[in-house]
Structure 1
Amino acid sequence: MGSALYMLFAERNFLHDVSISCWRIFVSFMAASAIGVPIGILMGCFGNIRALFNPTLTAWRYLPAASFIPLLLVWFGPTDQAKIALLFIGVIFFLISLVLDNTTAIQKEFVEAGLTMGASRRVILTGIVVPAALPAIFDSMRNMIAVSWTYLVIAEIVGAQDGIGAVMMRAGRFLNVDVIMAGIVTIGALGLLTDVIFRGAARVLFPWNVERRS
């Protein structure tokens, strides 16, 4: 497997495939976070919004992302948009659920103290609920980007010309097990690197939360 990794990076421009896969993960996850985090927070804060979205959210969580491949191919064809959309679908609904739980799990004493001091609902949302829930939300984002990496090969197997998944699928046609294993190890290493980055960012952004946990 070590020789396969060397061959991929030295002779087959594997770094380009790695960068393409990282770009697809980044774009899809940022889009899912930009939409999912605000919706999850609003659902956690307002019962009417939660009642509106929760039945649909519950149903969509049970749909496997891979089942959308035929539909995405019809809409987008074998393009980057289809792959990014699949990665987006694989993350968005679970991320909303996690953020909803993070928001409702904050200590009610914080909200009650704000109400006692006459704070408006907007101030309570932006000044109490969101700051209190942010460390847990960031941790949920760390967990969900790990899920994104697990969907990468599925997203890249259909009509892909580049990316780690495409390299692994081409290797599978010729029974190149060492190349497949090299792709698996690469995805695992990138996932671990992502996790380390998120953990480091959490220590910088939320130092009080790290101290409280320790």
Structure 2
Amino acid sequence: MSVDKDVAALAAKEPAPLPTARQIRHNPLLVPLRPVSSGQRWFLGIGFFVLFFAFWAIATFGGWVSPTFLADPLTMVHEGYLLFTEYNFSLDIGMTVMRVLGGFILAAVLAVPLGIMMGSYKLVEAFVEPFVSFCRYLPASAFIPLLILWAGIGETQKILVIFIGSFFQIVLMIAVTVGGARRDLVEAAYTLGASSRSIVRRVLIPGAAPEIAELLRLVLGWAWTYVIVAELIGSSSGIGHMIVDSQALLNTGQIIFGIITIGCIGLLSDYLFKALNRRLFAWSVAP
């Protein structure tokens, strides 16, 4: 009873007041939860990259780090130019993107319906959730030897690595999202005469759709880490294959360029995914 009283007392308290004008005047930049404009966000984001490359240039051009271990920015750019002009690096990029999209789309197509079923029906969740939770902790790279035996070293093996790394994460997160639907909406739908199937189709799925889209955006970022692992073994193309070849030659400029290329493509895909989510679910996606 004392715990209930404490909870009731906390709930009865008035919300914390917003910062006063004097508080903001003393510290105008760092105000908790204060939004920033789109222009400020772009300026600050680009500014971080400028500082990063500045420190990198100082460390390499100043002789603080040996070129054997870390190439300078100009060498990295030159090696990237050679990759595109002499080593057909654009083909490697295309192959990596194709593998990521293939494995991710296959995982999403199968995982989203299963996750919705688990979140909607507790019997399904009780039956499937222990196995999904077990598989979620298994590293996708551990399956590579088996996948090479089962599917060879072709494209199927690499797509399956991405599929395994993404599928179980998507299933469990979507099940949690759908299962956390507002009970009052479900009860209101039952009161209006909705059937169990209608509850899932017209209440649970629409309510969870924005969060499901955001979860898919996050897992797409994880898929990029799995594809590099898949390309490190038994691959003759792709960004990961190029990085392995460059490591054998101690060409850190090409290695860094490959890593930056992955980051740029991943960042672009993330922004495109976020823009699509804002367009589809403009009422719920945070800016």
TM-score, normalization: structure 2? Answer: 0.72
Q: State the Cα distance separating 1:47 from its structure 2 match.
A: 0.7
> Which residue of the partner structure matches residue 42 of structure 2?
none
> Which residue of the partner structure matches residue 47 of structure 1?
122
Q: What secondary structure does 2:284 align onto?
A: helix
The number of residues matched between the two structures is 212
Matched to 1:20, the amino acid is M
User: Quick one: distance in 1 between partners of 2:183 and 2:250?
Assistant: 57
> Which residue of the partner structure matches residue 207 of structure 2?
132
Q: State the Cα distance separating 1:2 from its structure 2 match.
A: 1.0
Q: Does residue 192 of the first structure (1) align with residue 275 of the second (2)? A: no
Q: Does residue 178 of the first structure (1) align with residue 253 of the second (2)? A: yes
Aligned-residue CA RMSD in angstroms? 0.9
Larger Cα-atom Rg = 2
Partner deviation per Cα, 1:81-115 (whole Å, 9 max, x = no partner): 00000011011111111111111122222111111
User: Quick one: distance in 1 between partners of 2:187 and 2:78?
Assistant: 61
Q: Does residue 104 of the first structure (1) align with residue 174 of the second (2)? A: no
> Which residue of the partner structure matches residue 120 of structure 1?
195
Q: State the Cα distance separating 1:58 from its structure 2 match.
A: 1.1
Q: What secondary structure does 1:208 align onto?
A: coil
Counterpart among 212, 235, 245 of residue 160 in structure 1: 235
Q: Which has the higher helix share?
A: 1
Matched to 2:136, the amino acid is R
Structure 1 runs, 4 residues or longer, greater than 6 Å off: none
| Unaligned runs of at least 5 residues, structure 1 | none
User: Quick one: distance in 1 between partners of 2:215 and 2:202?
Assistant: 21
Partner deviation per Cα, 1:3-52 (whole Å, 9 max, x = no partner): 11111112211111101100000010000000111101100000110011
Partner deviation per Cα, 1:110-160 (whole Å, 9 max, x = no partner): 111111101011111111110110000000000000000111211101111
Matched to 1:179, the amino acid is Q
Identity of aligned residues (%): 37
TM-score, normalization: structure 1? Answer: 0.97
> Which residue of the partner structure matches residue 79 of structure 1?
154
